[in-house]
Structure 1
Amino acid sequence: MEYLKDPRAIEEKSFDIIKKGIEKNLYSDEELEVVKRVVHATADFEFARLIKFSNGAVEAGIKAIKAGWSIVTDTRMARAGIKRELAKSFGVRVRCYSSSKEAEKMARERNITRAMAAIILSSYETENKIFVIGNAPTALFKLNELIREGKVYPALVVGVPVGFVGAKESKEELVELPVPSIVVQGCKGGTPVAVAIINALLSLAERRDEVE
């Protein structure tokens, strides 16, 4: 059987297929770049209908990256998937608190999830942040709470936790808050989706630098 072997040719063909399958007039050009990356990462065109951007969310994310704001993830898997060398070129640190001993201790003492403890710990740091939550609805619920209390002021929240318990509701709560956000409606989402969104924003920031 004949099949493509050239990585670049494979990627180009994939994005050609994706481009034809998305109703592009639903999004701005830069939003469309994000959507295409998510569809590419999941092979699921339904995400092209489910992804929702708050007004100016992509621009807010790009500006924060170019300003060197930190990226905080809810899982080590998300942290591992983000293009850290590209992030580093902007002075952006990619951080995850969920595997720390402090998060484990706090979760045990307060009887909360480690993901929630990680978000609380991240709020103690004074640096500016982009939050990327692809796995744990409890992390997003806690982040929403901290935003309402005025304890964190994210440049952007990528809120795409996956699951049947709390995922849909945590995202619905997020979009009602006065912060830039990118969400996936309903139960779908996941770490690969979160990573694809952030990597798309990093690539868009890099492209801006090349143009400027």
Structure 2
Amino acid sequence: MNRVVHPIEQESYRRLRARLDTSHFPPLTRAVVERVVHSAADLEYASDLVMDEGDLVAAHAALHAGAPVVTDVEMVAAGITRRETVCRLGDAKSGAGLTRSAHAVRLAYEEVGPGALWVIGCAPTALEELLALDVSPALVVGLPVGFVGAAESKAALRESGLPAVSNVSEKGGSAVAAAALNALLYHPVPPASEEIL
């Protein structure tokens, strides 16, 4: 089923592209950059985001093949449309040096196992815990926001070598993390003969 794009969204993208040239990005990178910029009305994300097209191609295939999607908080889950997500924050407890967000990551991993797409938009401690586990993700969208630990956790994600979407600055948040995942959800699946291997 094709997604129907509202005229306001169409006009918003027209204006975005009039102010920001994204034509040099590969297809999935362009989709992620544009949707994140659109979600925040912040053109600086075009130079702040870090991702690899090959990782996005593999993640796109995994997502459309039914890989689980895990979020750190319900706000991220609420922003991801057209797909069920796993968020275990409601079941998590803090204590013994572990935040609720970090515990939720542990609980979610016990539920979904390897190969999931992880979308972290709020808690740097969730991203830190994810990096401490051997989750073998299809992709980590690591875009937590904040002045304490956000930039550092995203730097650690990039250093980990895991397939990821991150950004260099302290900014981020639930809306932009959900937008990055939605970009992959909305991007069409190529016919089998056109898939990039």
Q: TM-score, normalization: structure 2?
A: 0.88
- Corresponding residue for residue 177 of structure 1: 160
User: Partners of 2:110 and 2:54 in 1: how far apart?
Assistant: 27
Maintained 8 Å contact 1:69/1:127:
no
- Corresponding residue for residue 102 of structure 2: 116
Distance 1:20 1:122, change over 3 A: same
One-letter amino acid matched to 1:98: L
Deviations 1:74-97 (A, max 9, x none): 0011111111xx32xxxxx41001
> How many corresponding residue pairs?
187
- Corresponding residue for residue 132 of structure 1: 119
Task: Structure 1: state its 5+ residue gaps.
Answer: 1-6, 88-92
Maintained 8 Å contact 2:29/2:53:
no
Maintained 8 Å contact 2:28/2:53:
no
Structure with the largest fraction of helix = 1
Q: Give the deviation of 1:42 after TM superposition.
A: 0.7
Please, what is the CA RMSD of the aligned residues? 1.7
Q: Please state whether the residue corresponding to 1:24 is helix, strand or coil.
A: coil
- Corresponding residue for residue 98 of structure 1: 89
1:62 maps onto 2:60 in alignment: yes
Maintained 8 Å contact 1:60/1:180:
no
- Corresponding residue for residue 195 of structure 1: 178
User: Partners of 2:8 and 2:80 in 1: how far apart?
Assistant: 21
One-letter amino acid matched to 1:189: G
Deviations 1:116-143 (A, max 9, x none): 1011112223363111000000111111
- Corresponding residue for residue 169 of structure 2: 186
- Corresponding residue for residue 6 of structure 2: 8
Q: Give the deviation of 1:202 after TM superposition.
A: 0.4
- Corresponding residue for residue 4 of structure 1: none
1:162 maps onto 2:149 in alignment: no
Deviations 1:21-56 (A, max 9, x none): 223255212211111111111111111111110351
Q: Give the deviation of 1:57 after TM superposition.
A: 2.3
Q: Give the deviation of 1:68 after TM superposition.
A: 0.8
Deviations 1:81-116 (A, max 9, x none): 111xx32xxxxx41001111xx12xx23x2421001
| Structure ID, larger Rg | 1
Maintained 8 Å contact 1:72/1:129:
yes
Q: Please state whether the residue corresponding to 1:165 is helix, strand or coil.
A: coil
Q: TM-score, normalization: structure 1?
A: 0.82
Q: Please state whether the residue corresponding to 1:35 is helix, strand or coil.
A: helix
Distance 1:26 1:170, change over 3 A: farther
Q: Which range moves more in the overlay, 166-175 or 19-28? A: 19-28
Maintained 8 Å contact 2:32/2:183:
yes
Q: Give the deviation of 1:20 after TM superposition.
A: 2.1
Q: Please state whether the residue corresponding to 1:96 is helix, strand or coil.
A: coil
One-letter amino acid matched to 1:112: L
1:42 maps onto 2:40 in alignment: yes
Q: Please state whether the residue corresponding to 2:144 is helix, strand or coil.
A: coil
One-letter amino acid matched to 2:124: P
Task: Structure 2: state its 5+ residue gaps.
Answer: 193-197
